[in-house]
Structure 1
Amino acid sequence: MPRQLPPLNALRAFEAAARLGSVSRAAEELHVTHGAVSRQVRVLEDALGAPLFEREGRGLALTAAGLRLRDAAGDAFAGLQSAWAGLRRHARPAALVLGCPGSLLARWVIPRLERLAADLPQVKLHLSAHEGGFDAALTGMDAALLLGEAPWPADWQVHALAPERIGPVLSPRHARFPALRGAPAAALLDEPLLHTVSRPQAWPRWFAARGLDAGGLRPGTAFDHLTYLLEAAAAGLGVAIAPQELVQADLDSGRLVAPWGFVKTGAEWTLCTVRGNADARVAALAGWLRSELQD
């Protein structure tokens, strides 16, 4: 026995008019004329044998039948919309939007993209450089890769990846490199120290971890971005401080040297997403990132 359904085009026009409270606004949403929506509503009323709207001053009000049909049609269209969106995502999965600070993106993520694509072919990334703090909703992102420390926003699910380790680095081109290379860490208290505006606590934390009083340290030039800081250090302009993972390639090549080593800061590399995000690609990416950082 065939299903007894209302005329679907007419139902679509009625649902829009009922939801928006206006035939004109429904016509705009559906990209048809005012008269076309009115005719479709009349088709539905004729098929039902009862009015769905009644005049109320200069506007329209739903009848009891109209209210019941509005709720049923709204639920049906919302369910169809959700199912259709899910089917489209499954058929053509959208790229995972990963936000991260520009320095992490340039110095750590991008050099590993080829390996990531080979190891996780199911994870297609859209990379978004982000400066400053991340809002609690991670607006415009599916996940964020960052260096930070608790407390985290209550709405976040946080995948801890590895502890952050920072340390001083300098170039063999530095004028005092021969003297500094073999000097104890305390010698840095007499040096103008390069730093970033966003991490003023980095040098004091490192000195404290080495058991040294940081009260007499001499701040040198400040930079807005870590990338610029490290380029200045590589040019021999001073001693910089940076996370180990972001300078490892420079250390391996000899472009920079880290004579005094690295210490943990209490911060962590993390992959964060909004709590309740069930995208399996996030967990897969977290596992891959954790392995890379441990290596």
Structure 2
Amino acid sequence: MKERELPLVALRAFAVAARSDNLSAAAEELGVTHGAVSKQVRSLEDWLGQQVFTREGRGLALTPYGKVLAERLSQSFRDIDAACQYVRRHRSKAVLAVEAPSTFAMYFLMPRLKRFETRYPNVAVWISTRMTGQTPDVSSNDLLITRGNTDRVGSHSKGTTALFEENLTPVCSTELLKKRPVRKPADILKHPLITSATRPGHWEAWLQEAGIRDYLFEGGHRFDHMFVAMHAVREGFGSIVAPREFFPGQAQWKLRCPLPGLAVRGETYFANPTLRADPRHVDRFVDWLKEEMKR
């Protein structure tokens, strides 16, 4: 059923009548006549093909169908009211809709976002995530963060800004490192090596850089997406090659880069403002991202 087919005026009249003592009280609340409310209720019953009220003396009682409808409408109108109140409360706050790859959003953006909101309290950042292979949603977002090729954004962007190039290095859970420390490159082979289908060849490239030749991959854990594989790393299933930039300094997420100086280059991340974006807020956010990379 399409929204335009819903008798919204009649549904609102019924919802008020259902929680009122009688139609006169409902009419007073709605600012209309008793007859107008009665007419709306009758039209709703005709549309539904069911009675929603029965007469009990001078008053009205809800039928079983009327009770179900009243409960659902009451919750729906509360949800609508809450949504409207939320928007009204934030009418002085701009919204910046940002779409980013899932792993970037989880491990780079989210841990740092409070710093942006503290600096710019009048801007609310709404984040949506994109899986590898998905087409960027240019119509619903102000800024698209992409990794590697930006062809999918194409002419929908106002301009592209390079943010940083990945430095790929092993990432391990702190618990796993306590059990099996990594002090030199060969020590990483004591860990099960976790791989992701969306980032093939990372381990091979790093092992080559580390001077470890002819390592045979067998067994271990392989996942379809990087952010799922990262959960396995956090649970101590093994180690993975991931961007060093996601795990600076402290053991964030209880994860650590045991050999941060030994890394191979990955792909570049780009910021792509869409045609609908307000350049003031996008420029602030992009400049802030660049600052975060320098920390």
Which category describes the TM-score, using the shorter chain as reference length?
Answer: 0.5 to 0.7
CA distance in 1, matches of 2:236, 2:169: 17
Contact 1:149 1:268 (8 Å CA) reproduced:
yes
How many angstroms does 1:92 deviate by? 6.6
Correspondence for 1:116: 116
Aligned counterparts of 2:286 and 2:234: Cα–Cα separation in 1: 31
For residue 275 of structure 1, report the CA deviation from its aligned partner: 6.6
Q: Give how far 1:250 is off.
A: 6.3
**Map of 1:260 onto structure 2:** 259
* CA distance in 1 between partners of 2:272 and 2:239 (Å): 32
| Structure 1 stretch displaced more, 284-293 or 243-252 | 243-252
- Aligned pairs for 1:144-183 within 5 A: 144-146=144-146, 148-150=147-149, 152-153=151-152, 154-155=154-155, 156=157, 157-174=159-176, 177-178=179-180, 180-182=181-183
Work out the percentage of aligned pairs sharing the same amino acid: 22
Amino acid at match of 2:162: A
Q: How does 1:160-239 map to 2 (within 5 A)?
A: 160-174=162-176, 177-178=179-180, 180-182=181-183, 184-189=184-189, 191-213=191-213, 216-218=216-218, 220-239=220-239
- Measure how far apart 1:276 and its partner are: 9.1
| Secondary structure of 1:173's aligned partner | helix
Measured after TM superposition, the shift of residue 193 of structure 1 is 0.8
What secondary structure, in the 3-state scheme, does the structure 2 residue paired with 1:165 have? Answer: strand
Whole-angstrom CA distance in 2 between matches of 1:292 and 1:163: 14
CA deviation vs aligned residue, 1:157-210 (integer Å, no higher than 9, x gap):
2211122122112234339944x523x324545753112221122212222333
Which amino acid is the alignment partner of residue 158 of structure 1? T
- Structure number with greater Rg is 1
TM-score by length of 2: 0.57
* Whole-angstrom CA distance in 2 between matches of 1:192 and 1:149: 28
Letter in 1 for 2:290: R
What SS is found at the alignment partner of 1:98? strand
Q: Match for residue 280 of structure 2?
A: 280
**Cα-to-partner distance string for 1:69-95 (whole Å, 9 max, x where unaligned):** xxxxxxxxxxxxxxxxxxxxxx97752
- After superposition, the CA RMSD in angstroms is 3.3
SS in structure 2 of the partner of residue 181 of structure 1: coil
Distance 1:191 1:118, change over 3 A: closer
Q: How many angstroms does 1:279 deviate by?
A: 2.2
Distance 1:115 1:151, change over 3 A: closer
Q: Aligned pair in 2 of structure 1 residues 227, 213: CA closer, same or farther (>3 Å)?
A: same
Distance apart, 1:290 and its partner CA: 0.5
Instruction: Specify every segment of 5 or more residues in structure 2 that has no aligned partner in the other structure, as ranges.
Output: 1-90
Residue 92 and residue 251 in structure 1: after superposition, are their counterparts in 2 closer, same or farther (change >3 A)? closer
Contact 1:169 1:242 in 2 (8 A): yes
3-state SS of paired residue (1:141): coil
Unaligned runs of 5+ in 1: 1-90
